[in-house]
A and B are shown apart, each in its own frame.
Chain A
Protein backbone atom coordinates (compact mmCIF):
# COMPACT_ATOMS: atom_id res chain seq x y z
CA UNK A 1 0.00 0.00 0.00
CA UNK A 2 1.11 3.53 -0.70
CA UNK A 3 2.11 5.58 2.30
CA UNK A 4 1.05 9.19 2.65
CA UNK A 5 3.44 10.77 5.09
CA UNK A 6 2.93 13.88 7.13
CA UNK A 7 4.98 16.95 6.22
CA UNK A 8 6.01 19.00 9.24
CA UNK A 9 7.91 22.28 8.83
CA UNK A 10 10.14 23.25 11.75
CA UNK A 11 10.12 27.04 11.91
CA UNK A 12 11.13 29.84 14.29
CA UNK A 13 11.43 33.23 12.63
CA UNK A 14 14.53 34.12 14.61
CA UNK A 15 17.75 32.22 14.09
CA UNK A 16 19.74 30.45 16.78
CA UNK A 17 16.82 29.27 18.90
CA UNK A 18 17.41 25.54 18.29
CA UNK A 19 15.45 24.84 15.13
CA UNK A 20 18.02 22.58 13.50
CA UNK A 21 18.81 20.79 16.76
CA UNK A 22 15.08 20.19 17.16
CA UNK A 23 14.69 18.89 13.61
CA UNK A 24 17.55 16.42 14.05
CA UNK A 25 16.40 15.18 17.44
CA UNK A 26 12.73 14.81 16.53
CA UNK A 27 13.68 13.04 13.29
CA UNK A 28 15.71 10.55 15.26
CA UNK A 29 13.04 10.41 17.98
CA UNK A 30 10.35 9.49 15.44
CA UNK A 31 12.68 6.88 13.92
CA UNK A 32 13.19 5.43 17.42
CA UNK A 33 9.38 5.13 17.59
CA UNK A 34 9.59 2.87 14.51
CA UNK A 35 8.40 5.56 12.11
CA UNK A 36 10.07 5.92 8.76
CA UNK A 37 11.33 9.47 8.81
CA UNK A 38 13.27 11.82 6.57
CA UNK A 39 14.73 15.15 7.65
CA UNK A 40 15.34 17.74 4.94
CA UNK A 41 17.56 20.78 5.34
CA UNK A 42 15.95 23.75 3.56
CA UNK A 43 18.55 26.23 4.78
CA UNK A 44 20.24 26.67 1.40
CA UNK A 45 23.74 28.10 1.76
CA UNK A 46 23.90 27.43 5.50
CA UNK A 47 23.81 23.67 5.80
CA UNK A 48 23.90 22.58 9.45
CA UNK A 49 21.60 19.63 9.98
CA UNK A 50 24.37 17.34 8.63
CA UNK A 51 26.60 18.38 11.57
CA UNK A 52 23.86 17.81 14.17
CA UNK A 53 23.32 14.30 12.79
CA UNK A 54 27.04 13.61 12.37
CA UNK A 55 26.61 12.97 8.66
CA UNK A 56 28.60 15.88 7.23
CA UNK A 57 31.26 13.61 5.71
CA UNK A 58 28.67 11.54 3.85
CA UNK A 59 27.00 14.30 1.89
CA UNK A 60 27.58 13.85 -1.84
CA UNK A 61 24.41 15.19 -3.44
CA UNK A 62 21.98 17.74 -2.05
CA UNK A 63 18.38 18.93 -2.38
CA UNK A 64 19.17 21.18 -5.35
CA UNK A 65 20.78 18.27 -7.25
CA UNK A 66 17.54 16.33 -6.74
CA UNK A 67 15.25 19.21 -7.71
CA UNK A 68 17.30 19.93 -10.82
CA UNK A 69 17.11 16.21 -11.65
CA UNK A 70 20.87 15.80 -11.79
CA UNK A 71 20.49 12.75 -9.54
CA UNK A 72 17.68 10.49 -8.40
CA UNK A 73 16.20 11.18 -4.95
CA UNK A 74 17.48 7.83 -3.64
CA UNK A 75 21.05 8.74 -4.56
CA UNK A 76 20.91 11.93 -2.48
CA UNK A 77 19.29 10.43 0.63
CA UNK A 78 21.74 9.59 3.41
CA UNK A 79 21.06 6.91 6.02
CA UNK A 80 21.53 7.76 9.69
CA UNK A 81 24.43 5.96 11.41
CA UNK A 82 22.36 5.24 14.51
CA UNK A 83 18.89 4.36 13.22
CA UNK A 84 17.97 2.80 9.90
CA UNK A 85 14.49 4.41 9.93
CA UNK A 86 16.02 7.86 9.64
CA UNK A 87 17.18 9.36 6.35
CA UNK A 88 18.56 12.79 5.62
CA UNK A 89 18.57 15.11 2.61
CA UNK A 90 21.19 17.87 2.75
CA UNK A 91 20.82 21.52 1.81
CA UNK A 92 22.99 22.84 -0.95
CA UNK A 93 25.95 24.67 0.54
CA UNK A 94 27.16 26.45 -2.58
CA UNK A 95 24.05 27.56 -4.41
CA UNK A 96 21.93 30.62 -3.83
CA UNK A 97 18.60 30.23 -2.03
CA UNK A 98 16.82 31.73 -5.04
CA UNK A 99 17.20 28.32 -6.75
CA UNK A 100 14.12 27.09 -4.87
CA UNK A 101 11.04 26.77 -7.04
CA UNK A 102 7.50 25.87 -5.94
CA UNK A 103 6.76 23.27 -8.60
CA UNK A 104 10.04 21.43 -7.96
CA UNK A 105 9.53 21.52 -4.20
CA UNK A 106 6.02 20.13 -4.54
CA UNK A 107 7.28 17.27 -6.70
CA UNK A 108 10.01 16.44 -4.17
CA UNK A 109 7.62 16.62 -1.22
CA UNK A 110 5.07 14.36 -2.93
CA UNK A 111 7.77 11.83 -3.70
CA UNK A 112 8.91 11.83 -0.05
CA UNK A 113 5.33 11.47 1.20
CA UNK A 114 5.05 8.18 -0.64
CA UNK A 115 8.15 6.75 1.06
CA UNK A 116 8.06 8.10 4.61
CA UNK A 117 5.69 8.40 7.57
CA UNK A 118 7.14 11.76 8.58
CA UNK A 119 8.92 14.39 6.51
CA UNK A 120 10.54 17.08 8.68
CA UNK A 121 11.59 20.25 6.88
CA UNK A 122 14.17 22.40 8.64
CA UNK A 123 13.33 25.99 7.64
CA UNK A 124 15.91 28.73 7.27
CA UNK A 125 15.78 31.59 9.79
CA UNK A 126 13.95 34.70 8.70
CA UNK A 127 10.68 35.09 6.82
CA UNK A 128 11.95 35.47 3.27
CA UNK A 129 11.45 33.31 0.19
CA UNK A 130 13.44 30.34 1.53
CA UNK A 131 11.13 30.25 4.54
CA UNK A 132 8.00 30.62 2.44
CA UNK A 133 9.07 27.71 0.25
CA UNK A 134 9.62 25.52 3.32
CA UNK A 135 6.10 26.05 4.64
CA UNK A 136 4.39 25.99 1.26
CA UNK A 137 3.50 22.29 1.23
CA UNK A 138 3.54 21.58 4.97
CA UNK A 139 0.66 19.73 6.64
CA UNK A 140 1.69 21.00 10.07
CA UNK A 141 4.30 23.23 11.65
CA UNK A 142 6.37 23.07 14.79
CA UNK A 143 7.37 26.51 16.02
CA UNK A 144 10.50 26.67 18.17
CA UNK A 145 10.93 29.64 20.49
CA UNK A 146 13.17 30.67 23.37
CA UNK A 147 11.47 32.37 26.34
CA UNK A 148 12.74 35.74 25.25
CA UNK A 149 11.05 38.74 23.58
CA UNK A 150 12.75 38.83 20.17
CA UNK A 151 12.29 35.11 19.58
CA UNK A 152 8.58 35.25 20.42
CA UNK A 153 7.92 38.35 18.36
CA UNK A 154 9.70 36.87 15.31
CA UNK A 155 7.82 33.60 15.76
CA UNK A 156 4.53 35.49 15.62
CA UNK A 157 5.51 37.01 12.27
CA UNK A 158 6.51 33.60 10.93
CA UNK A 159 3.15 32.16 12.07
CA UNK A 160 1.34 35.01 10.30
CA UNK A 161 3.04 34.09 7.03
CA UNK A 162 2.33 30.40 7.57
CA UNK A 163 -1.36 31.25 8.00
CA UNK A 164 -1.53 33.18 4.75
CA UNK A 165 0.97 31.58 2.37
CA UNK A 166 0.81 27.84 2.84
CA UNK A 167 -0.93 25.84 0.13
CA UNK A 168 -3.15 24.08 2.65
CA UNK A 169 -4.55 27.39 3.89
CA UNK A 170 -5.02 28.66 0.32
CA UNK A 171 -7.02 25.49 -0.36
CA UNK A 172 -9.29 26.37 2.55
CA UNK A 173 -7.65 24.03 5.04
CA UNK A 174 -5.65 24.62 8.16
CA UNK A 175 -2.01 24.03 9.03
CA UNK A 176 -1.83 22.69 12.59
CA UNK A 177 0.66 24.60 14.71
CA UNK A 178 2.54 23.27 17.70
CA UNK A 179 4.87 25.15 20.00
CA UNK A 180 8.17 23.99 21.49
CA UNK A 181 9.69 26.27 24.12
CA UNK A 182 13.41 25.65 24.11
CA UNK A 183 16.23 26.67 26.48
CA UNK A 184 14.12 27.21 29.60
CA UNK A 185 16.19 28.25 32.60
CA UNK A 186 14.34 26.96 35.67
CA UNK A 187 16.18 29.27 38.02
CA UNK A 188 15.33 32.38 36.01
CA UNK A 189 11.66 31.39 35.78
CA UNK A 190 11.63 30.85 39.53
CA UNK A 191 13.09 34.34 40.04
CA UNK A 192 10.40 35.85 37.81
CA UNK A 193 13.00 36.84 35.23
CA UNK A 194 11.94 34.51 32.42
CA UNK A 195 8.61 34.34 30.62
CA UNK A 196 6.54 31.35 31.66
CA UNK A 197 5.12 28.82 29.23
CA UNK A 198 1.55 29.93 29.84
CA UNK A 199 2.34 33.55 29.02
CA UNK A 200 4.02 32.56 25.76
CA UNK A 201 1.09 30.37 24.77
CA UNK A 202 -1.45 33.09 25.42
CA UNK A 203 0.57 35.66 23.48
CA UNK A 204 1.08 33.39 20.44
CA UNK A 205 -2.28 31.66 20.79
CA UNK A 206 -1.13 28.17 19.75
CA UNK A 207 -0.98 24.78 21.42
CA UNK A 208 2.01 23.49 23.36
CA UNK A 209 3.94 20.44 22.17
CA UNK A 210 6.71 20.48 24.74
CA UNK A 211 9.21 22.32 26.89
CA UNK A 212 12.97 21.81 26.75
CA UNK A 213 15.26 22.96 29.54
CA UNK A 214 18.58 24.69 29.00
CA UNK A 215 21.12 21.87 28.98
CA UNK A 216 24.89 21.71 28.47
CA UNK A 217 24.41 18.30 26.92
CA UNK A 218 23.03 19.98 23.76
CA UNK A 219 26.38 21.51 22.83
CA UNK A 220 28.25 18.38 23.92
CA UNK A 221 25.96 16.46 21.56
CA UNK A 222 26.45 18.79 18.60
CA UNK A 223 30.21 18.76 19.21
CA UNK A 224 30.12 15.02 18.60
CA UNK A 225 27.42 14.86 15.95
CA UNK A 226 25.30 12.60 18.17
CA UNK A 227 21.82 14.07 18.77
CA UNK A 228 21.15 14.69 22.47
CA UNK A 229 18.11 12.38 22.38
CA UNK A 230 20.63 9.50 22.49
CA UNK A 231 21.82 10.74 25.89
CA UNK A 232 19.21 9.39 28.29
CA UNK A 233 20.77 11.22 31.26
CA UNK A 234 20.20 14.59 29.67
CA UNK A 235 17.04 16.55 30.58
CA UNK A 236 16.90 18.01 27.05
CA UNK A 237 17.30 14.54 25.53
CA UNK A 238 14.44 13.27 27.71
CA UNK A 239 12.31 16.22 26.63
CA UNK A 240 12.90 15.38 22.96
CA UNK A 241 11.91 11.77 23.68
CA UNK A 242 8.61 12.89 25.22
CA UNK A 243 7.91 15.25 22.32
CA UNK A 244 8.62 12.53 19.74
CA UNK A 245 6.21 10.20 21.48
CA UNK A 246 3.56 12.95 21.56
CA UNK A 247 3.91 13.46 17.80
CA UNK A 248 3.28 9.72 17.41
CA UNK A 249 0.02 10.19 19.31
CA UNK A 250 1.01 9.07 22.81
CA UNK A 251 -0.65 11.02 25.60
CA UNK A 252 2.24 12.17 27.72
CA UNK A 253 1.77 14.93 30.25
CA UNK A 254 3.78 18.10 29.63
CA UNK A 255 6.66 18.16 32.10
CA UNK A 256 6.94 21.55 33.73
CA UNK A 257 10.68 21.89 33.35
CA UNK A 258 10.42 25.33 34.96
CA UNK A 259 9.76 23.67 38.28
CA UNK A 260 12.93 21.81 39.08
CA UNK A 261 13.10 22.88 42.71
CA UNK A 262 9.82 21.98 44.28
CA UNK A 263 10.96 20.60 47.63
CA UNK A 264 10.18 22.59 50.78
CA UNK A 265 13.89 23.02 51.49
CA UNK A 266 14.45 24.55 48.05
CA UNK A 267 11.53 26.93 48.54
CA UNK A 268 12.88 28.16 51.87
CA UNK A 269 16.31 28.53 50.33
CA UNK A 270 14.68 30.53 47.53
CA UNK A 271 13.23 33.05 49.97
CA UNK A 272 16.56 33.77 51.61
CA UNK A 273 18.63 33.86 48.46
Chain B
Protein backbone atom coordinates (compact mmCIF):
# COMPACT_ATOMS: atom_id res chain seq x y z
CA UNK B 1 0.00 0.00 0.00
CA UNK B 2 1.04 3.59 -0.72
CA UNK B 3 4.17 2.39 -2.45
CA UNK B 4 3.76 5.32 -4.84
CA UNK B 5 4.71 7.76 -2.11
CA UNK B 6 7.71 6.14 -0.52
CA UNK B 7 9.38 4.09 -3.21
CA UNK B 8 11.94 5.84 -5.34
CA UNK B 9 12.59 3.05 -7.83
CA UNK B 10 15.91 1.47 -8.67
CA UNK B 11 15.98 2.50 -12.35
CA UNK B 12 17.40 5.92 -11.47
CA UNK B 13 20.29 4.27 -9.61
CA UNK B 14 20.90 2.00 -12.60
CA UNK B 15 21.04 4.99 -14.94
CA UNK B 16 23.51 6.90 -12.77
CA UNK B 17 25.81 3.92 -12.25
CA UNK B 18 25.71 2.95 -15.93
CA UNK B 19 26.51 6.46 -17.09
CA UNK B 20 29.65 6.55 -14.97
CA UNK B 21 30.75 2.98 -15.80
CA UNK B 22 30.36 3.53 -19.54
CA UNK B 23 32.17 6.86 -19.43
CA UNK B 24 35.14 5.22 -17.77
CA UNK B 25 35.00 2.22 -20.20
CA UNK B 26 35.07 4.55 -23.18
CA UNK B 27 37.99 6.51 -21.79
CA UNK B 28 40.05 3.33 -21.65
CA UNK B 29 39.60 2.26 -25.25
CA UNK B 30 41.07 3.52 -28.47
CA UNK B 31 37.73 4.02 -30.04
CA UNK B 32 38.82 6.55 -32.63
CA UNK B 33 38.65 5.01 -36.09
CA UNK B 34 41.55 7.22 -37.21
CA UNK B 35 43.85 6.16 -34.38
CA UNK B 36 46.15 3.92 -36.46
CA UNK B 37 46.55 6.56 -39.16
CA UNK B 38 47.27 9.26 -36.59
CA UNK B 39 49.89 7.05 -34.92
CA UNK B 40 51.61 6.48 -38.26
CA UNK B 41 51.66 10.20 -39.01
CA UNK B 42 53.09 11.11 -35.61
CA UNK B 43 55.81 8.47 -36.04
CA UNK B 44 56.60 9.96 -39.45
CA UNK B 45 57.13 13.43 -37.99
CA UNK B 46 59.19 12.31 -35.00
CA UNK B 47 61.27 9.94 -37.15
CA UNK B 48 62.56 12.94 -39.11
CA UNK B 49 64.56 13.86 -36.03
CA UNK B 50 65.08 10.62 -34.10
CA UNK B 51 64.40 6.88 -34.28
CA UNK B 52 61.08 5.66 -32.92
CA UNK B 53 60.57 2.21 -31.42
CA UNK B 54 56.94 2.35 -30.40
CA UNK B 55 54.07 4.73 -29.84
CA UNK B 56 51.13 4.52 -27.50
CA UNK B 57 48.18 6.90 -27.47
CA UNK B 58 45.55 6.89 -24.78
CA UNK B 59 42.47 8.97 -24.29
CA UNK B 60 42.21 10.08 -20.70
CA UNK B 61 39.35 11.70 -18.89
CA UNK B 62 40.03 13.71 -15.77
CA UNK B 63 36.88 15.29 -14.44
CA UNK B 64 35.37 17.21 -17.32
CA UNK B 65 38.61 17.40 -19.27
CA UNK B 66 39.44 14.93 -22.03
CA UNK B 67 43.07 14.62 -23.04
CA UNK B 68 45.28 12.51 -25.26
CA UNK B 69 48.38 11.09 -23.69
CA UNK B 70 51.01 10.21 -26.25
CA UNK B 71 53.97 8.05 -25.27
CA UNK B 72 56.72 7.65 -27.80
CA UNK B 73 59.42 5.11 -27.08
CA UNK B 74 62.70 5.96 -28.78
CA UNK B 75 65.12 3.35 -29.97
CA UNK B 76 68.68 3.24 -28.54
CA UNK B 77 70.28 4.70 -31.64
CA UNK B 78 67.96 7.67 -31.45
CA UNK B 79 68.94 8.47 -27.89
CA UNK B 80 72.62 8.43 -28.83
CA UNK B 81 71.90 10.65 -31.80
CA UNK B 82 69.92 13.09 -29.66
CA UNK B 83 72.74 13.34 -27.13
CA UNK B 84 75.21 14.32 -29.84
Q: How many residues of B contact A (CB 8 A)?
A: 25
Q: Does B35 sit within 8 A of A, measured CB to CB?
A: yes
The reply to whether B9 and A157 form a contact with Cβ atoms under 8 Å apart is no
Choose one: A148, A160, A164, A192; the contact of B7 (CB below 8 Å): A192
Q: Does B1 sit within 8 A of A, measured CB to CB?
A: yes
Pick from A61-69, A85-93, A193-201, A232-240 the stretch touching chain B. A193-201
Interface residues of A in 179-228 (CB under 8 A from B): 189, 191-196, 199, 203
B30: chain A residues at CB < 8 Å are 164
Question: Chain A interface: which size bin?
Answer: 20 to 34
- B12-30 vs A, CB cutoff 8 Å, 1 = contact: the mask equals 1011011101100110011
Task: Report the bound CA distance from A149 to B13 in whole Å.
Answer: 10
Known A-B contacts A164-B33, A271-B4, A272-B2; the reply to A156 vs B9 at CB < 8 A is: no
Choose one: A152, A156, A170, A203; the contact of B33 (CB below 8 Å): A170
Choose one: A160, A169, A192; the contact of B10 (CB below 8 Å): A192
Task: Report the bound CA distance from A164 to B3 in whole Å.
Answer: 46
Of listed B7, B15, B29, residue having the most chain A CB within 10 A: B15
Task: Report the bound CA distance from A272 to B1 in whole Å.
Answer: 5
A164: chain B residues at CB < 8 Å are 30-33, 35
Closest CB-CB distance, B58 to chain A, in whole Å? 14
Choose one: B7, B21, B29, B35; the contact of A153 (CB below 8 Å): B21
Q: Does A251 sit within 8 A of B, measured CB to CB?
A: no
Residues of B with Cβ closer than 8 Å to A?
A: 1-4, 7-12, 14-15, 17-19, 21-22, 25-26, 29-33, 35
Please, could you name 19 A-B residue pairs with CB atoms under 8 Å apart, sorted by A? A149-B14, A149-B18, A153-B22, A157-B29, A163-B31, A164-B30, A164-B31, A170-B33, A191-B7, A191-B9, A192-B10, A196-B11, A199-B11, A203-B19, A203-B22, A271-B2, A272-B2, A272-B4, A273-B1
